[in-house]
Amino acid sequence: MTAGVRRLDHVAVAVRDAEAALALYAGVLGGRFVLGGDNDETGTRIIHLRLGGFKLELMQPLREDSLLARTIERRGEGFHHVTFVVGDVARTVDVVEAAGFETVGTELGNPTWRETFLRPRQTGGLVQLVDTDRDWSGPVDGITLDDVLAGRAGFDGAWPCWKATP
């Protein structure tokens, strides 16, 4: 039995400064903004770019105490994870664990983004497996790259949204 991967969704790159990283990924390489926002819970800014036949995710820490900031401090900037969309992440957890792979960070409560991760020491890099009830391929609610960089966009239940204005 296989995990039922449907497609590669994105490759994530951890960066200290997403705006500086955009010079390469959006400027030189021609990536086009898809969606993004701040995850205040994890202290991370996310920017998805369409680049070739898939998405690239830039991940920037917003706080020094965030897990991403600590990861960059330990390992430096660069590859963070690869994300594959599967048909049913709960079933996929059963399949990969039966094959001897350990899953961590499994979250099944939100149909917008159900996920699990495979440990890098077993896979050669962090692997994220997700299922979702949303289409993540295009802009959301008029949010632009400038809005994300200015901190005006966030996430509500994993879905990009406008942040409340004070």
pLDDT tens digits, one per residue of 80-98: 999 999 999 999 999 999 9
pLDDT tens digits, one per residue of 44-60: 999 999 998 889 999 99
Question: Which strands make up the sheet holding 5-14, listed edge to edge?
Answer: 103-107, 114-118, 126-131, 78-86, 5-14, 54-61, 44-51, 32-39, 153-156, 159-162
Could you give the CA distance from residue 67 to residue 53 in angstroms, rounded to a whole number? 29
* pLDDT for position 166: 53
Query: Of 126, 24, 14, 20, nearest to 76 (Cα)?
Result: 14
pTM of the model: 0.92
Q: Domains of the chain by range and CATH?
A: 5-151 (3.10.180.10)
